[in-house]
Amino acid sequence: MKVIVAKDYNEMSKKAAQIIAAQITLQPNSVLGFATGSSPVGTYQELVKKNQAGEIDFSEITTVNLDEYRGLPKEHEQSYIKFMNDNLFDHVNIDKANTYLPNGMANNPEEECARYDALIESLGGIDLQLLGIGHNGHIGFNEPSDHFENGTHCVTLTERTIEANKRFFASADEVPRQAYTMGIGTIMAAKKIVVVVSGEDKADAVKNCVEGVITPEVQGSILQLHPDVTIICDEAAYSKLK
């Protein structure tokens, strides 16, 4: 695992965007795995700037997102598809037909999970996966558990995650209780992984993922076994690492 310390959120975002931009330049038809949440917003802003400056071209890029809330329609302010359109896809020259997320409104969860896995497989897997980390060490919506799930699955969110994500909703009651998430097996099969983490409140999660025991109780700890992970932390998130 390579850990890069950035001065602050802006520097973290710039460094992450540089790596993704290099990936796009080296392989213009890359499959990029994208994440939502506050952590990657600055990275997306930097990618938009680079695209608008003509430095990178999204025309042949395909994207697959980590997760989506179950039960939120696409038009909902807090759906992850809306997040991706607002923060990235509406501002770059990507073909939206090549941007994929789990369908939060699918009638049959099992079929939806199988569909998403088959889709990722048909694309040949993920070349570069961008991740954030939850306070409990979750990646995607892979919540603390007694095992690691391989493929896409429907999860019940923990109280801590609902609490953390309620800031985006009118109240905690409005946060969906379930979500679809890519599995740990799919994330770990990505050729490269870039993680962005900032803030003192994430320092324990970073420590547990980078230096802790590898355990499904801290799903991000499995990243220690991946051959090409770069974690970009700001100084606050880095502060508890030895």
Distance from C-alpha of 28 to C-alpha of 238, rounded to nearest angstrom: 32
Q: Where are the extended beta strands (E) located within the chain?
A: 2-6, 31-34, 62-65, 67-69, 99-100, 128-131, 153-156, 178-181, 192-197, 229-234
* Largest distance between two CA atoms of the chain: 47
Given the rule CB under 6 A, which of 36-44, 88-96, 112-120, 228-236 is the region that contacts ligand GLP? 36-44
Pick the catalytic residue from 46, 67, 68, 149: 67
Distance from C-alpha of 23 to C-alpha of 18, rounded to nearest angstrom: 9
Q: Which of residues 36, 99, 129, 152 is near ligand GLP by CB under 6 A? A: 36
Q: Which is nearer to ligand GLP, 23 or 165 (CB)?
A: 165
Give the shortest CB-140-to-ligand GLP separation in angstroms: 5
Residue with nearest beta carbon to ligand GLP: 132
* Number of chain residues interacting with ligand GLP (CB under 6 A): 13
Binders in 156-215 for ligand GLP, by CB under 6 A: 161, 165
From the CA atom positions of the chain, what is the Rg in Å? 17
Q: How are strands ordered across the β-sheet holding 178-181? A: 67-69, 178-181, 153-156
Distance from C-alpha of 105 to C-alpha of 69, rounded to nearest angstrom: 9
Q: Which is nearer to ligand GLP, 162 or 242 (CB)?
A: 162
134 makes contact with ligand GLP (CB under 6 A): yes
136 makes contact with ligand GLP (CB under 6 A): no
116 makes contact with ligand GLP (CB under 6 A): no
Distance from C-alpha of 134 to C-alpha of 163, rounded to nearest angstrom: 11
Residues with catalytic function: 67, 136, 138, 143
Binding residues for ligand GLP, per CB under 6 A? 35-39, 66-67, 132, 134, 140-141, 161, 165
